[in-house]
């Protein structure tokens, strides 16, 4: 796994957050879960940082 792949892990969670925001806007605009969107964005950032740390630690020099 390369460090760029670690960023893709974070972008996956950000994509899920966008879908999580867009779907209620189409179905029921008055009920959007902003706390869930914030948590998914924070989770995406944390997962990408952790994936990068794991990748950087396991690379052989």
pLDDT of residue 29: 81
Examine the pLDDT at 61 and tell me if it is beyond 70: no
Domain ranges of the chain: 3-58
Least confident of 19-23, 45-49, 54-58: 54-58
Radius of gyration of the chain (CA): 15
Residue 21: which residues within 8 A CB-CB, separation 6 or more? 32, 37
- Percent of the chain at pLDDT exceeding 90: 0
pLDDT of residue 32: 82
* CB 32, CB 25: distance < 8 Å: yes
């Amino acid at each position: 796994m390369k460090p760029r792949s670690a960023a893709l892990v974070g972008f996956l969670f950000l994509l899920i957050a966008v879908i999580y925001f867009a779907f209620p806007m189409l179905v029921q605009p008055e009920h959007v879960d902003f706390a869930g969107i914030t948590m998914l964005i924070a989770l995406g950032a944390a997962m990408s940082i952790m994936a990068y740390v794991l990748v950087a630690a396991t690379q052989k020099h």
